[in-house]
Structure 1
Amino acid sequence: MNLFEEEKADPAKKSQEKRSVVNPHEPLATRMRPDSLDEFVGQDHIVGEGKMLRRMIESGVIGSLIFYGPPSSGKTTLAHVISREINAKFEVLNAVLDGIKDLRQVVERAQKIQQMNGRKTILFVDEIHRWNKAQQDALLPHLESGVITLIGATTENPYYSLVNPLLSRCQLFELYDLQVEHVKTMIDRALKDKERGLGHKDVILTEPAKNHLAEFAGGDIRNAINALEVAVLSSDKDEEGNILIDLEIAKECIQKRNVRYQGTGDEHYHYASAFIKSMRGSDVDAALYWMAAMLEGGDDPNFIFRRMLILASEDVGMADPHALTMVNSAHEAFTKCGMPEGLYFLAHACIYLSLAPKSNSTGAVFSVRSEIKNRGTKAVPPHLRDKTANSKEARYLDKENASDDYKYPHSHPHHWTEQQYLPEELEGTSWFEPGNIGREGKLWERLQKIKKAWQSNS
């Protein structure tokens, strides 16, 4: 067995030797980055026991992959772990900073390593959705030749942000937000690890302090670990030589809660969807929660108002026709006053729409459009045509004005009379389905009473 075969035979031993070299000047979060699947936390749906990605890693047969999911979900770390597990050369490009020239340099190095010892090269492209079509296409021949194995990371929906030829050559895996328990696991590991972590220091972290760090991190392990490091390095030892980190210290070291949502990518649409569905479902608290999360994540309040204007017609509609006016007024007040007072107007509209009676009968317009698109527009019945135009036609053809047959509703009791308004071919057709809730129910009931009275008198 030659040197290269021996290296392949025991990659775990080689990985362990590398891990023993720790740079004390690196941030604690960097030093504690997992180097193996056993150390990796979260994403059990793809790397748990028996799951597909784990089986691929354990077999050493890794094709090109795309990881997509929210920030701080472990995409970079998982790519790093995979390269260590299969003993591959790990190259990193950032799609914001690097381009085709940098890709060529990576490919050249990968070709040399492959020729020397057959070792694989994993190219990790962070924020791969930032590359344009030409840059993404530049990857294709190198994936086909097997010179590099791609692991791309994106916070965007890959089906919209990546070109089809690249998607067809990669397997897609979605990563989810890390939970509080995952953050706690890494905090405990950092406190115990004597080589990479704080295990060589006598640190006592109270349970309330740990809970605070984990919850305020918002699923961002790096944020929590860095805050822990700041807390330890800035605290003095007590008389017994221990460094006590209590809740008060923890609050000082992680003062602003990390917000998962950043107003972009798929998360933008997920949060907007949750906001709309909560108002539609008349859950005031949930609607306020998602709206506040969107604002905290940097969403434009005008976008939120636009969504509420749509809901006022689409989901409240005729059940409360005043909802549209109210939301529009709140938006106008917001543009005059701005933030932070504008929060009152946002909340005013959100609460009103959540509590308002609901009706989606305005959606009838789409059914009518479908009728016209599929079957075309029919001719206007003679009695509904413009009287002036009809009079010209009548004089020219020496016949009676068809518009004279029009029945003027205001000349009849209740300002209504029975009359055919649809084209003859569509007589009796109905698309509108009225609701019986709120103002709409009363309006529809009023019309039915008028029709019934007319029939009784005719």
Structure 2
Amino acid sequence: MVSCPICGKSVNANRINDHIDSGCESHFENGENGGISRSSTPVSSFFKTPIAKKESTLNGTGGINGDHPTSSPSLPPALSTSTSYKKRTFAETTTTPIANTDQNGHHTPTTDQPSAAPDSPPLRKKPKLSPNAPLPERMRPHTLNDIAGQQALIGPNGLLRGLIESNTIPSLILWGPPGTGKTTIARIIASTCNSRFVEINSTSTGVGELKKLFGEARNELGLTGRKTILFCDEIHRFSRSQQDVFLGPVEKGEVTLVGATTENPSFKMQGALLSRCRVFVLEQLTPADTETILRRALAAELATTTEDSPLHTATLLSPESDELIPFLATTSTGDARTALNLLALTLSLLATDPELTLAQLKPHLTKTLLYDRAGDAHYNAISAFHKSIRGSSPDGALYYLALMLQSGEDPLYIARRMIVIASEDIGLADNSMLSLATATYTACEKVGLPEARINLAHCAVALALAPKSTRSYRGLAAAMHAVGKEEGVMGLKVPPHLCNAPTRLLKDMGVGKGYKYNPDYMGGRVKQEYLPPELEGRVFLEDDNLPGTKGVDEDLDDEEREEVLAEEEDRLGLKRKAREPGEQRRTNGAGSTGDAEGVVEGEELVLADEDF
């Protein structure tokens, strides 16, 4: 069904032209014929007088209304006697008076239907909410000014506010934590913009329904000129193949997509669709914003109760007590929906016992952790845990470990990450950490929670306090870059003396000839090249445990700065001592592949041992 651009009534999309040709008198959705009596027996259209000819007869000098002019001024221009039908925009049709027919056959403009100004948005009825609707739904704002927080987007100078007020809404994605106003903003867009609005949820809408909606939007745009705003909640739940269905309609401008998601669109949305949408980031509400919402809701709820309601005598709700609202704002962690649900629960408990104290209520007001084991919070927490260990902060490591455990994270997932940390960040500085991390994983398997949390804490603190070295990690990265990125390196042949020669034929061909078996030589030291000739002298393993390319951090205080400089001086002193003439220096144990600083002793390249 579509709305007629002239009379505004619902008409079958396939009969819209017939409806307009009839002067908006027939072909309605419910079968009404505009008040004109019809024979119960259908009459073939062959015997019907064309509408243009009928109007000419009714309004001509020799017709029934001979005193009327030949052209009815009350008829819409599109229904005049002109032989060509001219399409008009939606703004034009909203200002055109609708013709009615009285008992004498006279056409008079309709006066009881107000016409909207061309630039004014259509009047929308405020949705009637059931008294049993949840408190968050009943308290949902209806204007941008009522929304708490998000001032960067919808404040007086907010970009999104400017787009809404100018009625130039692009396809956009609203990305933010739960309870920050994504759905509310989308519905305000619907109520203020002169467009058709359709709301769907990705959990209950399939591809077939989407294609049907896009077809209706296409018909609406072609018949009335009105665009369709399609609001899709939880859009990240659509698979990438399902998201492909949006590409065509969004690209052609048949629909304006407004998506809401709590997950990072870069990870959850198809790249081609994301490139056609503008992403607006909604920030988590501050405690002050949440308090504003709660106080407004509390005042509205108390206003609907009778004077003898127990809520008016509740101690926690008295003006002298101001501990409930701040507690709820803090407990909800920036989620307005959670805060309002907790307030509703509190009011229901106080209605039965007005003397309840906050201490008695706290066990009933469970804290909601914003943690999704498959979402952003999951990856943010493990990232912060890893970086705390890398930064030698045992306090940070313990905090994020506790956060993940309290949120139900798999302890084996945390243990696996610590195995990686042991080699990536501690590495050659303390080889025992890899054994500890591996043993921690085994302990978690055998013990399980809750005791396994002790093993995890032991390992996390040990890793945080251990010295750090990324030599092996950076060395592998340099070698991987050479093999994968540098032209020709991937195809270099292994030197013949390093090749395997298990058969007599290969030995006769000289494969493996010239190889020096290190254990046969004193100290295992030999002069032998292990890299292809094209990479001779190339160094992948650097001397320093940590590169330190950015120098001393400017944010360190004076005492910490002096400590860092002293450690660096000691390191350089040990390095110089290791390279004094006459001192025994260790060559590269895998063979002389070169020195990071180009130091040469005779013909043999050496590396200083930095793992003291």
Most deviating of 318-327 and 245-254: 245-254
Matches within 5 A, 1:386-401: 396=508
1:182-222 Cα offsets, whole Å, 9 max, x none, are 21111111123369877986433733322221111122211
In structure 2, C-alpha distance between the alignment counterparts of 1:312 and 1:352, rounded to whole Å: 10
Which residue number corresponds to residue 170 of structure 1?
Answer: 277
Pick aligned residue for 1:263 from 365, 373, 379: 373
Secondary structure at the counterpart of residue 350 of structure 2: coil
8 Å Cα contact 1:95-1:127 kept in structure 2: yes
8 Å Cα contact 1:121-1:148 kept in structure 2: yes
Secondary structure at the counterpart of residue 72 of structure 1: coil
Question: Is 2:206 the partner of 1:99?
Answer: yes
Secondary structure at the counterpart of residue 293 of structure 1: helix
Which residue number corresponds to residue 597 of structure 2?
Answer: none
In structure 1, C-alpha distance between the alignment counterparts of 2:397 and 2:464, rounded to whole Å: 7
Pick aligned residue for 2:335 from 220, 230, 244: 220
In structure 2, C-alpha distance between the alignment counterparts of 1:304 and 1:432, rounded to whole Å: 29
Question: Is 2:97 the partner of 1:24?
Answer: no
Pick aligned residue for 1:299 from 409, 420, 423: 409
Matches within 5 A, 1:212-291: 212-236=327-351, 246-255=357-366, 257-291=367-401
How far 1:124 sits from its partner (Å)?
1.4
Matches within 5 A, 1:10-409: 18=126, 23-86=130-193, 88-104=195-211, 106=213, 121-143=228-250, 146-193=253-300, 202=312, 203-204=317-318, 206-236=321-351, 246-255=357-366, 257-363=367-473, 364-373=475-484, 374=486, 375-376=489-490, 378-381=492-495, 384=498, 396=508, 402-403=513-514, 406=516, 408-409=518-519
Residues 426, 207 of structure 1: CA spacing in aligned structure 2 closer, same or farther, 3 A cutoff? same
8 Å Cα contact 1:42-1:182 kept in structure 2: yes
Secondary structure at the counterpart of residue 531 of structure 2: coil
Pick aligned residue for 1:432 from 537, 541, 554: 541
8 Å Cα contact 2:501-2:511 kept in structure 1: no
8 Å Cα contact 1:209-1:245 kept in structure 2: no
How far 1:313 sits from its partner (Å)?
0.8
Most deviating of 353-362 and 112-121: 112-121
8 Å Cα contact 1:208-1:246 kept in structure 2: no
Residues 77, 195 of structure 1: CA spacing in aligned structure 2 closer, same or farther, 3 A cutoff? farther
Secondary structure at the counterpart of residue 299 of structure 1: coil
In structure 2, C-alpha distance between the alignment counterparts of 1:148 and 1:89, rounded to whole Å: 10
How far 1:248 sits from its partner (Å)?
2.0
Residues 6, 334 of structure 1: CA spacing in aligned structure 2 closer, same or farther, 3 A cutoff? same
How far 1:245 sits from its partner (Å)?
6.8
- The amino acid across from 1:368 in the alignment is A
Residues 348, 197 of structure 1: CA spacing in aligned structure 2 closer, same or farther, 3 A cutoff? farther
In structure 1, C-alpha distance between the alignment counterparts of 2:542 and 2:306, rounded to whole Å: 69
Residues 99, 380 of structure 1: CA spacing in aligned structure 2 closer, same or farther, 3 A cutoff? closer
In structure 1, C-alpha distance between the alignment counterparts of 2:402 and 2:176, rounded to whole Å: 22
Residues 222, 71 of structure 1: CA spacing in aligned structure 2 closer, same or farther, 3 A cutoff? closer
Pick aligned residue for 1:451 from 577, 585, 594: 585
8 Å Cα contact 1:282-1:355 kept in structure 2: yes
Secondary structure at the counterpart of residue 309 of structure 1: helix
1:329-378 Cα offsets, whole Å, 9 max, x none, are 00001001111111112212211111111111112012123333432364
In structure 1, C-alpha distance between the alignment counterparts of 2:539 and 2:477, rounded to whole Å: 13
Secondary structure at the counterpart of residue 279 of structure 2: strand
TM-score of the aligned structures, taking structure 1 as reference length: 0.81
Secondary structure at the counterpart of residue 323 of structure 2: helix
Secondary structure at the counterpart of residue 144 of structure 2: coil
Structure with the higher fraction of residues in helix conformation: 1
Secondary structure at the counterpart of residue 232 of structure 2: strand
In structure 1, C-alpha distance between the alignment counterparts of 2:587 and 2:173, rounded to whole Å: 68
How far 1:174 sits from its partner (Å)?
2.1
How far 1:246 sits from its partner (Å)?
4.3
TM-score of the aligned structures, taking structure 2 as reference length: 0.63
In structure 2, C-alpha distance between the alignment counterparts of 1:32 and 1:62, rounded to whole Å: 25
- The amino acid across from 2:479 in the alignment is V
- The amino acid across from 1:451 in the alignment is R
How far 1:33 sits from its partner (Å)?
1.1
8 Å Cα contact 1:4-1:117 kept in structure 2: no
In structure 2, C-alpha distance between the alignment counterparts of 1:170 and 1:199, rounded to whole Å: 49
How far 1:109 sits from its partner (Å)?
6.4
8 Å Cα contact 1:114-1:147 kept in structure 2: yes
In structure 2, C-alpha distance between the alignment counterparts of 1:367 and 1:92, rounded to whole Å: 51
- The amino acid across from 1:328 in the alignment is T
In structure 1, C-alpha distance between the alignment counterparts of 2:418 and 2:186, rounded to whole Å: 41
In structure 2, C-alpha distance between the alignment counterparts of 1:110 and 1:385, rounded to whole Å: 68
How far 1:260 sits from its partner (Å)?
1.2
In structure 2, C-alpha distance between the alignment counterparts of 1:9 and 1:93, rounded to whole Å: 26
Number of aligned pairs? 440
Residues 387, 226 of structure 1: CA spacing in aligned structure 2 closer, same or farther, 3 A cutoff? closer
1:312-338 Cα offsets, whole Å, 9 max, x none, are 111111011111110000000100111
8 Å Cα contact 1:231-1:249 kept in structure 2: no
8 Å Cα contact 1:261-1:293 kept in structure 2: no
Residues 105, 189 of structure 1: CA spacing in aligned structure 2 closer, same or farther, 3 A cutoff? farther
In structure 2, C-alpha distance between the alignment counterparts of 1:235 and 1:7, rounded to whole Å: 52
How far 1:108 sits from its partner (Å)?
6.6
In structure 2, C-alpha distance between the alignment counterparts of 1:212 and 1:341, rounded to whole Å: 32
Secondary structure at the counterpart of residue 38 of structure 1: helix
How far 1:51 sits from its partner (Å)?
2.2
In structure 2, C-alpha distance between the alignment counterparts of 1:110 and 1:331, rounded to whole Å: 55
In structure 2, C-alpha distance between the alignment counterparts of 1:211 and 1:54, rounded to whole Å: 29
Which residue number corresponds to residue 421 of structure 1?
Answer: 530
Residues 222, 452 of structure 1: CA spacing in aligned structure 2 closer, same or farther, 3 A cutoff? closer
How far 1:119 sits from its partner (Å)?
6.0
How far 1:262 sits from its partner (Å)?
0.9
Task: Name the Cα RMSD after superposition.
Answer: 3.9
Q: Computing the radius of gyration over CA atoms, which structure comes out larger, 1 or 2?
A: 2
In structure 2, C-alpha distance between the alignment counterparts of 1:416 and 1:149, rounded to whole Å: 72
How far 1:28 sits from its partner (Å)?
1.6
Q: What runs of 5+ residues in structure 1 fail to find an aligned partner?
A: none
Identity percentage of aligned residues:
35
Higher relative contact order (CA 8 A, sep 6+): 1
- The amino acid across from 1:100 in the alignment is V
